Amino acid sequence: MKVAVCSAQSYDRQFLSDANRDSGHELAFFDSHLCQETRQMVAGFPAVCAFVNDTLDAPVLEALAGQGTRLIALRCAGFNNVDISAAGRFGLRVVRVPAYSPYSVAEHTVALMLALNRYLHQAYNRVRNGNFALQGLLGFELRGKTAGIIGTGHIGSAVAQILHGFGCRLMAHDPQPSVDCISLGVEYVPLEQLYAGSDIITLHCPLNPQTHHLIDAAAIARMKRGVMLINTSRGAVIDTRAVIEGLKASRIGYLGLDVYEQEGDLFFRDLSDQVRQDDVFERLLTFPNVVITGHQGFFTAEALASIARTTLQNVSLFEREGLCQNEVTVELVRGG
């Protein structure tokens, strides 16, 4: 099948081309994001392979359907950038990679926690500058601390397992509690209780209308003073401006982000020689207790190989049998 791969980076070319040796699809790689302005580039491709920051809103989907596309194959788990009901209206099927290596994101989440609680980001620079003073680097131990996990699906459960190994007490909030987490001793509690009782709060729920700006000023006001907040899910689960106020007031003691609400204008490219225009993001970078990575939680060799394999299997099944494994339906969106 002819597949247009949008937002293609060198590693996408490498891993998809390798996996395609078993699948035999005709892959065409496009550097550009998919959006209204670039939709022409994928004209005539029955399958379009998109990533997290490609825009698949109703106008783009209508245009794609009109120019011959039948399948949107997301090479990611999240699908908040796709208007699923519009896709259905225009006869487009949408598939995704629901699980690849949850450990990729889970381990990155814990890496952010460990960088923050021992100030590794600062220590790295100090030592390189010949500054071996310890003032300002006083850490805390994870053992015995309470971690609150919001969303215990594939990634949240893997985080729970790792933090259990560190000796943390674990609380969680999820409308669908995980049996594995319960047997690990995770206590499911209402959000209020999680906010009030957690030393570390880590977000692993999808972005949907219920979770949009879940972490806002009111939520932050209910958290323990000095809480560590980690977001590796989707940027808009937190209200960034409210979090900045929380940092300024020392209500938030540590912030680790792998995702950002307006990341579509920033991430996955080198802007080091440009004047960056996002003042909210730049403000975040001024805090000594903030570590930000550019949506790299998924970025391990194991995860990329698995994503490429599943993406091409999704396309093959659709081509061969007209079936969609791993389909994103309106029911799935409603169910969160």
* Residues carrying an active site annotation: 234, 263, 295
Stretch that binds ligand NAI, among 22-30, 88-96, 262-270, 295-303 (CB under 6 A): 295-303
**3 state DSSP class of 158:** helix
Provide the token pair at 91.
């006869």
Question: Hey, which residues does 73 pair with through a beta bridge?
Answer: 49, 95
Shortest Å distance, C-beta 333 to ligand NAI: 11
When asked if residue 148 is in the footprint of ligand NAI (CB under 6 A), the reply is no
* Cα–Cα dist 47/323, whole Å: 14
CB nearer ligand NAI, residue 45 or residue 79: 79
When asked if residue 194 is in the footprint of ligand NAI (CB under 6 A), the reply is no
Q: Give the type of residue at 259.
A: V
* Cα–Cα dist 55/38, whole Å: 10
Provide the token pair at 66.
């009109």
Q: Of how many residues is the chain composed?
A: 336
Interface with ligand NAI (CB under 6 A), residue from 39, 70, 234, 309? 234
Question: What is the distance of C-alpha 34 from the center of its chain?
Answer: 19
**3 state DSSP class of 7:** coil
Residue with tokens 């994101």: 105
When asked if residue 233 is in the footprint of ligand NAI (CB under 6 A), the reply is yes
CB nearer ligand NAI, residue 48 or residue 205: 205
Shortest Å distance, C-beta 264 to ligand NAI: 14
Residues 77-116 that bind ligand NAI (CB under 6 A): 77-78, 99, 102, 105
When asked if residue 258 is in the footprint of ligand NAI (CB under 6 A), the reply is yes
Shortest Å distance, C-beta 193 to ligand NAI: 13
Interface with ligand NAI (CB under 6 A), residue from 298, 307, 309, 318? 298
Q: If 0-12 CB within 10 Å is exposed, 13-18 middle and 19+ buried, where does residue 92 land?
A: buried
CB nearer ligand NAI, residue 69 or residue 109: 109
Stretch that binds ligand NAI, among 30-38, 65-73, 152-160, 279-287 (CB under 6 A): 152-160
CB nearer ligand NAI, residue 258 or residue 319: 258
Shortest Å distance, C-beta 34 to ligand NAI: 19
| Residue 102: CA count within 13 A, CB half-sphere | 15
When asked if residue 274 is in the footprint of ligand NAI (CB under 6 A), the reply is no
**3 state DSSP class of 94:** strand
Shortest Å distance, C-beta 13 to ligand NAI: 19
Q: Which residues contact 228 (CB under 8 A, 6 or more apart)?
A: 113, 116, 117, 199, 200, 201, 252, 253, 254, 255, 256
Q: Tell me the per-residue interface mask from 174 to 193 with ligand NAI, x by CB under 6 A, - otherwise.
A: xxx-----------------
Q: Helix 154-166 to helix 102-117 angle, to the nearest 10 degrees?
A: 40
Is residue 48 a contact partner of residue 26, using CB atoms and an 8 Å limit? Answer: no
Pairing of strands 169-173, 146-150: parallel
When asked if residue 336 is in the footprint of ligand NAI (CB under 6 A), the reply is yes
Binding site for ligand NAI (CB under 6 A): 77-78, 99, 102, 105, 150-156, 173-176, 204-207, 210-211, 232-234, 258-259, 295, 297-298, 336
